[in-house]
Amino acid sequence: MRFVTGYRDRSKATVLAGAIAGLCEPGRHYKLMEVCGGHTHTIYKHGLEHYLPEAVELVHGPGCPVCVIPMGRVDDAISIARQPDVTLACFGDMVRVPGGKGSFLDAKAAGADVRVVYSPMDALKLAIDEPDRRVVFVAIGFETTAPSTALTVLRAQADHIRNFSVFCNHVTIIPPLKAILDANDVDIDGFIGPGHVSTVVGCRPYLPIAADYGKPLVVSGFEPLDVLQSVYMVMRQLAERRAEVENQYGRVVNWEGNTTAVAVMEQTMEPRPHFEWRGLGSIPFSALKLRPHLAEHDAEELFDIPGVRVADPRACQCGQVLRGQIRPWECRVFGKACTPEKPIGTCMVSSEGACAAYYNFGRLVTPHARPPRARSAAPS
């Protein structure tokens, strides 16, 4: 298929739906976790849950980078923004993320210089254009966005731009998946693996998920037929009693990933011994920090930061959503006290958040009755 319409063909989706239904064992319930928030939005924007049999349940995972940032890290960034001559640069979906002492938007309203940028290079340009300001870029994201931060830091170092630094919050994809499986409080049968992260890291890092935990994982694209085909591939592995890593997104992802991007990350960043995740607690070696030789561009080395852990609001159940324990509409404040206009938790703020997906696409209560299923057939 060459055009996007080919990946949104209803007749092909119906055939895949029948094939998935044909793989279900009588009396068995399957729970598959779509790791990436982009997949969650595809599922509910296009109504893919209605193509699946009742026996197959899709639950959201910890793949939204904004959603997993703990409140304490937001407060740390705000403390930097309030210091003299500082400009805090961040992506747009970070400005309304609630911390214990408000959001970046609240800090801006109180006088802090907070600016939205579209890339770390935009933040570096701010530092070049305004040499009297100390520009701090709030770096977030999985391995997808870490290479762009790494390259920007190398450029700042090479060009001797000393008023630019990074508050690094990059996280990695494998440790939280292991943490969820180790906790053993959610019975996950298999994973729809993240496509964007995999363009960088490839498929090999997921091998322990299959080998050590016996869980199939299929790296998936983001169009409706991509997701349905990935569900079919996971279900086929389960039916055949296999647990392997497979790549549905072969038109973009290769097995070894982008080795150049991985190399530049390794050149500039190293794993943190511990990092706090919203809803998942502290996970060892699950996040990245700048290496010591780049200390002059590391905001955590340049500024006095509180580093205080802040508990999530009691009413917010984002953590349970990120672990796949509950659906967003099962949260006691979803769509009531917590809405996109007045979010309590990060899952309602981020453009990749599960709660935002459910809310924006009308999944506000228990899923309604589904249409009749297609007959079992082989996928095209």
User: Do 158 and 264 fall into the same domain?
Assistant: yes
Report the C-alpha gap between 13 and 11 in whole angstroms: 5
The mean predicted confidence, pLDDT, of the chain is 91
What CATH number is attached to the domain comprising 83?
A: 3.40.50.11740
pLDDT, tens digit, 9 for 90 and up, residues 200-224: 999 999 999 999 999 999 999 999 9
What is the number of domains present in the chain? 3
20 found inside a domain: no
User: Do 78 and 60 fall into the same domain?
Assistant: no
368 found inside a domain: no
How large a percentage of the chain has pLDDT more than 90? 72
59 found inside a domain: yes
At residue 54, does pLDDT exceed 90?
yes
Give SS3 for 251. coil
210 vs 363, higher pLDDT: 210
At residue 193, does pLDDT exceed 50?
yes
User: Do 268 and 125 fall into the same domain?
Assistant: yes
User: Strands 245-247, 281-284: parallel, antiparallel or unpaired by DSSP?
Assistant: unpaired
The boundaries of the domain holding residue 342 are 318-359
User: Do 223 and 149 fall into the same domain?
Assistant: no
User: Do 294 and 328 fall into the same domain?
Assistant: no
pLDDT band of residue 369 (cuts 50, 70, 90) is very low
Last residue of one domain, picked from the residues 302, 336, 371: 302
What CATH number is attached to the domain comprising 213?
A: 3.40.50.11750
379 found inside a domain: no
pLDDT band of residue 2 (cuts 50, 70, 90) is low
Residue ranges of alpha helices (H) inside the chain are: 10-22, 37-45, 71-81, 104-109, 120-129, 146-158, 174-183, 195-201, 207-211, 224-239, 259-268, 299-302, 318-322, 354-360
At residue 47, does pLDDT exceed 90?
yes
pLDDT band of residue 370 (cuts 50, 70, 90) is very low
Q: Count Cβ atoms below 10 Å from residue 245 Cβ, excluding itself.
A: 24
pTM of structure: 0.90
Instruction: Write down the pLDDT at residue 1.
Output: 62
